[in-house]
Structure 1
Amino acid sequence: MSSGEDEIVGIILAGGRGERAKPITLKSADYIRSKALIPFAGRRLIEWVLDACREQGLRRFYVVTHGLENRNQIKLLLGHGERYGVEIRYSRSRFDRYNVGSAGATLHNLEHWDLQGRALILPVDSLFDFDVAELAETHRASQALVTLATVERTAAEVVGKYGVMQTDERGLVTGFVEKPDEERLRALFPRSVEEAGATLPTNAGMYLVDCGRLRLLAREPELLRQSHQRLDWGGDLLPRLVARGEAVALHTINRLGDLGNVPDYLGTLQHVLDGEYSQMNRLMDAPDEPGARSWIHRSTLLAKDDVTGTTLAQKIDEGSVVIGPGVRIGREVEIGPRVRLEHADIGDGADVREGSTLLRTACGESALIGPYAQISDSYIGPMVEIRSDLHHPATLEGYSAVGDGAVVSAGSRFHGVTVYPGLRVPALAGLPAETQLRTADDILRWM
């Protein structure tokens, strides 16, 4: 977008604490990694967000942060945008006390930054596949105050999980239905429930807004009072705007990937590795083998393991290592013989020892996966050690997650178990799904 009246600026909401995404958002038991800095496909999430917007012409960004750790982590990574070819400003710490809702934080900072034109507001815990120009055209044509980016979902997907919007013949929102049960959904949207393939619009959490008009409304006493207490976009501000007759339009985007919890994180990662995000396809390096969609850094292809003394390239050629579809392997990773990888993301400096299998799994930088470990549908954080051997293989599955620097002993069998950073976990089996090992005391209860 060119500067001037046609310019769209980006406002990135990065003030949340990432509670749902633990342990991905934990660097230690008491040190929260900003959601913006979640590692994803070889970079930090906020870097992908910046690149996706910059590719479509946005050059000025405003980041709404909260708290010392959150603000410092993001600023240390991004600076003021010089490395990324953009300009970045940050919310002031004195506004942190107003950051008690996504809309409240937005309104206070719009005023402080004196923004008058259009702004694209988006959270930092999701991955979007969208077209800014098409979104802007919908916004212009409808003369909307706010245009919501939406994702179309079937009635079965919506029931009890997503809020949906009711619209008039012009396509403007007339009402919001929050996570309806099947009976209410059938009463309000009978055709969408009955017709095969019919879908409903759900809020993607991205908004194109007219800043000047929104600021005028925000100065009204009732809304001003609410913005000092709690004011969210989806649950508070948008229903309020619709109730008073403001034009709120909808625009369908291609795809939304939630990264707010471990299952969604892994699901989104798999979709990206499979090429289902057209924008990420443009931003990522071209895969080494387009059909198989694999990315292996040259330093890793040339790295020799200490068991056979052969390079990964040799092991792939002779068939002793199987690289399936959707695999990204970073720099200087050592891969042993008889390893199988499929829909896996392996961070720089990791060791994947002989006989191990990683399926639909993210493995962080410098992690060590022991021999014959069997890992599927799991998140392995940076510097994690999964100890394993032929007679006592470690097994992790069912959306298990191991936080930074933790050690899991050989013979452990985890299904849907979460291990917090830094813990040393003895061989445990039979833990109920969704068990969370947060402290040494939690471990003692299961021994």
Structure 2
Amino acid sequence: MAMLEEKTLDDVVVILTSAGKGTRNFPINLYSPTSMIPKGLLRVLGTPPSELQIRQLMGWLKNFFIITQYLENDDMLSNRFGDGLGRFGVNINYSSPLEDLLNNGSGESLLRNILEQKYGGHSLVLANDNLYETDWPEVVRFHKEKGAVITVMATLMGARETIGDYGLLQVDERGRVVRITEKPKNEAELVKTLGIDDPARLGDIQVRVNTAGYVIDNPAFKDLAREDWVREKMKKESGEFDMAGGLIKGCVERGIPVYATLIDNWGDLGTNVKFLATVERALGREYPSIDSLLSKRGYHHLKNNVWVHPETYLATRNGNPSLKELIETKAVEIGPNVFIGRNVEIGKGAKIRYSSVEKRGYIGEEANISHSVIFPTCRIGKRARIDRSILGLRVVVNSSPENPTVIESSYLGPVVVPAGIHIINSPGVYPGCEFGPDRVIKDRVLLPSNAAVMRVVDSYTRREA
């Protein structure tokens, strides 16, 4: 990283945003049919992205503020990070629950909280369910030198990748944003937006997109709240006032200085498809901050790009050989591009490729896992095959040599899968669902049964009594 003047970051506070219900990551982020885990706490190679962001910045910045909405976001994030002093050596404060009730979109929430906290200087704003790699001081210096009210942290992306998902940023030669285009709905709309005559050219075009990371001039930002158009948009009855398509777009249209700067890398974890793709990129060592953290924590980095927690690598249980011995004797096949967390047990004959297996899991003998993410405390039975899937917390996959279970291109919450089941292309297998007599579940969502939901409600009622 560039060696810049220390004063570059002297007046900067970090704001992390966690204000969604996480529905686009259902069911992998569910504890039960009625409670979710904040997206910022879903682990990527052993570390939640919100924690990674704090660790990336704590060497330069000491004041953090987390904007939350909904009980799970507020409760789980504040329980994990506390005041930040003991664990990170930083100060972490949280938005008021009363303020959170007023949340009316990301733009409205940022304006209101920066006003409420009376922040001067500048804010570095990050969505806590994204991965960011950049030279942080350089981003802030760019923002200050340009005299921007808002600087958007942008990334380059193939034009076709934006369809249905990302709006486009158009900038001039100085990096000033001159136009923001809504997410193109289809290829024809994208071609029109880019002003090209041949759709075949789309494969060669890269465009700038917003990563939901910003640097904000706080005094100038607060002045926006006094403008009539902003005051009107902030009203509940005006509908959701988001940051990208609402506040920033309005600023650009009115000539208020908004700039964009490219960052080194970015990972979107906001849907299950994107989560899986981003983890695969992390396994491919595209995020140096993750590699650095794993090295600091003493993970063994083996050939074929395999990261293994030291306790998992060296532990022997019940007289069984350690994972180190199993790898050295070729009794298991691990790699390429694999992460294995703490206290994971792996049986003989298991094969794991291009996958992340988080802490306290069990992988049975001759199980085959590829291009998948296995969350903490999962149990995978003998000869099970998991391919291009995500298994949420504490998924149990029963399987045996006689009745092997197969899970392909599917996303599971905390469930117990019967032996011999084939789950193929399921957008969601929810906790509390009931597996019927069908042995093949294809292109279907399994929702929680009413009985399962009532059991959860009843358990809470009994607990309160």
TM-score, L = length of structure 1:
0.91
Q: Partner residue of 2:176?
A: 172
The match for 2:191 is 186
CA contact (8 A) 1:204 1:256 kept: yes
Aligned to 1:302: 314
The residue that corresponds to 1:415 in the other structure is 424
Q: How far apart in 2 are the matches of 1:428 and 1:264?
A: 29
Counterpart-to-counterpart distance in 1, 2:157 and 2:100: 35
CA distance in structure 1 between the partners assigned to 2:90 and 2:432 by the alignment: 37
Give the aligned partner of residue 215 of structure 1: 222
Cα distance between partner residues in 2 of 1:39 and 1:24: 11
Distance 2:271 2:162 in 1: 18
Instruction: Give 2:97's aligned residue.
Output: 93
Match of 2:84 in 1: 81
Distance 2:68 2:35 in 1: 16
Q: Structure 2 CA distance, aligned partners of 1:70 and 1:27? A: 13
Count the aligned residue pairs: 438
Which secondary structure does the structure 2 equivalent of 1:431 belong to?
Answer: strand
Q: Which has the higher contact order (CA 8 A, sep 6+)?
A: 2
CA 1:290–1:134: 2 relative to 1, 3 Å: farther
Contact 2:37/2:73 (<8 A) preserved:
yes
Q: Deviations over 1:290-344 (max 9, x none)?
A: 54221222322334467x9332222211111011122121222211110001122
Distance 1:195 1:329, change over 3 A: closer
Partner of 1:353: 364
1-10 or 278-287, which deviates more: 1-10
Asked whether 1:8 is paired with 2:12, we answer yes
Query: Take 2:412 and 2:163, find their aligned partners in 1: how far apart are those partners?
Result: 31
Find 1:204's aligned residue among 208, 211, 222: 211
**In the alignment, what sits opposite 1:58?**
61
> Whole-Å Cα distance in 2 between the matches of residues 188 and 15 of structure 1?
31
Structure 1 counterpart of 2:282: 272
Q: CA deviation at 1:157?
A: 2.2
SS at match of 2:152: strand
CA distance in 2: counterparts of 1:125 and 1:53, whole angstroms: 16
Match of 1:260 in 2: 270
User: Which amino acid is 1:215 matched to?
Assistant: K
> 1:407–1:423: 8 Å Cα contact kept in structure 2?
no
- Counterparts in 2 of 1:184 and 1:22: CA distance versus 1, 3 Å: closer
Q: 1:227 to 1:290 in 2, by over 3 A?
A: farther
Q: Quick one: which of 317, 341, 357 aligns to 1:330? A: 341
- Cα deviation for residue 2 of structure 1 reads 4.8
Is the CA contact 1:394–1:411 (under 8 Å) kept in the aligned structure 2? yes
Residue equivalent to 2:292 = 282
Amino acid at match of 1:366: T
Q: Higher mean Cα deviation, 113-122 or 91-100?
A: 91-100
| Residue pair 1:413, 1:428 contacting (<8 A) in 2 also | no
Aligned partner of 1:119: which letter? S
User: What is the CA–CA distance in structure 2 between the aligned matches of 1:160 and 1:69, rounded to whole Å?
Assistant: 28
Contact residue 31 and residue 393 of structure 2 kept, 8 A: no
Q: Distance in 1 between matches of 2:339 and 2:171?
A: 42
Give structure 2 stretches of 5+ with no counterpart: 453-465
Provide the TM-score with structure 2 as the length reference.
Answer: 0.88
Kindly indicate whether the alpha-carbon contact (under 8 Å) linking 1:341 and 1:358 is maintained by their aligned counterparts in 2: yes
Q: 1:4 & 1:349 partners in 2: Cα distance?
A: 42
Cα deviation digits, residues 130-164 of structure 1 (max 9, x gap): 22122123212321111111111122223443211
Give the match for residue 457 of structure 2. none
1:40 alignment partner, SS class: coil
Please state whether the residue corresponding to 2:211 is helix, strand or coil: strand
C-alpha RMSD of the superposition: 2.4
Deviation at 1:23, TM superposition (A): 1.3
Question: Partner letter of residue 310 of structure 2?
Answer: R
Alpha-carbon distance, 1:427 to partner: 6.4
